[in-house]
Amino acid sequence: MLRPVSPRVCCKFRRPNRLPYLARFTVSSLSSSELFSKPATLELPNAPSVAYAAVTHPLPGPAPSSKTRETIALAKDYILPVYARLPIVLDRGQGSWVWDCDGRKYLDFSAGIAVNALGHADEGVSEMLKSQSSKLMHTSNLYYNEPSAALASLLVTLTQREGGLGYPAGDHHPTGVPGAKVFFCNSGTEANEGALKVARKVGKDRGGPTKTEIVCFQQSFHGRSFGALSVTSTRKYQDPFMPLVPGVRVGVLNQSEGLEDLITENTCAVIVEPIQGEGGVNSADIEWMRKLVQRARDTGAVVIFDEIQCGLYRTGTLWAHSAWPVDCHPDIVTMAKPLANGYPIGAVLMRDAVMGTMTTGSHGTTFGGSPLACSLGFHVLDRLSQREFVSHLNRTSAFLLRRLERLSGWFPDLVGPIRGCGLIIGLVLIREGDAQRLVELARERGVLLLTAGTDCVRLVPSLNVSEEEVSHAVDVIESCLGLLS
The residues of the shown chain that bind ligand PLP, judged by CB under 6 A, are 113, 187-189, 192, 221-223, 273, 277-278, 306, 308-309, 336
Measured CA to CA, the distance from residue 312 to residue 336 in angstroms comes to 9
Kindly state the smallest distance separating residue 363's Cβ from ligand PLP, in Å.
Answer: 17
Cα 207–Cα 308–Cα 379 angle in degrees, nearest 5: 120
Kindly state the smallest distance separating residue 224's Cβ from ligand PLP, in Å.
Answer: 7
The sign of the torsion formed by the CA atoms of 96, 99, 105, 106 equals: negative
CA 369 from centre of chain: 19
Kindly state the smallest distance separating residue 452's Cβ from ligand PLP, in Å.
Answer: 10
Measured CA to CA, the distance from residue 95 to residue 472 in angstroms comes to 15
Measured CA to CA, the distance from residue 267 to residue 296 in angstroms comes to 8
Q: At what angle do helices 371-384 and 146-162 cross, to 10 degrees?
A: 30
Kindly state the smallest distance separating residue 275's Cβ from ligand PLP, in Å.
Answer: 9
Kindly state the smallest distance separating residue 417's Cβ from ligand PLP, in Å.
Answer: 21
Largest CA distance in the chain: 65
Measured CA to CA, the distance from residue 348 to residue 200 in angstroms comes to 15
Residue 248 β-bridge partners: 214
DSSP for 299-339, please give it.
Answer: HTPEEEEE-TTTTTTTTSSSSTTTTS-GGG--SEEEE-GGG
Residue closer to ligand PLP by CB (options 48, 453) is 453
Residue closer to ligand PLP by CB (options 201, 337) is 337
Kindly state the smallest distance separating residue 266's Cβ from ligand PLP, in Å.
Answer: 25
Kindly state the smallest distance separating residue 230's Cβ from ligand PLP, in Å.
Answer: 13
Kindly state the smallest distance separating residue 52's Cβ from ligand PLP, in Å.
Answer: 29
Whether residue 220 contacts residue 276, with contact meaning beta carbons closer than 8 Å, is answered with yes
Residue closer to ligand PLP by CB (options 150, 424) is 424
Whether residue 418 contacts residue 441, with contact meaning beta carbons closer than 8 Å, is answered with no
Strand, coil or helix: 27: coil
Residue closer to ligand PLP by CB (options 101, 199) is 199
Q: Using CB positions, name the residue nearest to ligand PLP.
A: 188
Residue closer to ligand PLP by CB (options 52, 313) is 313
Indicate the pairing of strand 180-185 with strand 282-283: unpaired
| Local structure of residue 462 (DSSP, 8 states) | -
Kindly state the smallest distance separating residue 203's Cβ from ligand PLP, in Å.
Answer: 21
Residue closer to ligand PLP by CB (options 83, 144) is 83
Residue closer to ligand PLP by CB (options 113, 177) is 113
| Local structure of residue 45 (DSSP, 8 states) | P
Whether residue 425 contacts residue 459, with contact meaning beta carbons closer than 8 Å, is answered with yes
Residue closer to ligand PLP by CB (options 224, 402) is 224
Cα 101–Cα 107–Cα 113 angle in degrees, nearest 5: 90
Residue closer to ligand PLP by CB (options 275, 296) is 275
Rg (CA), the chain: 22
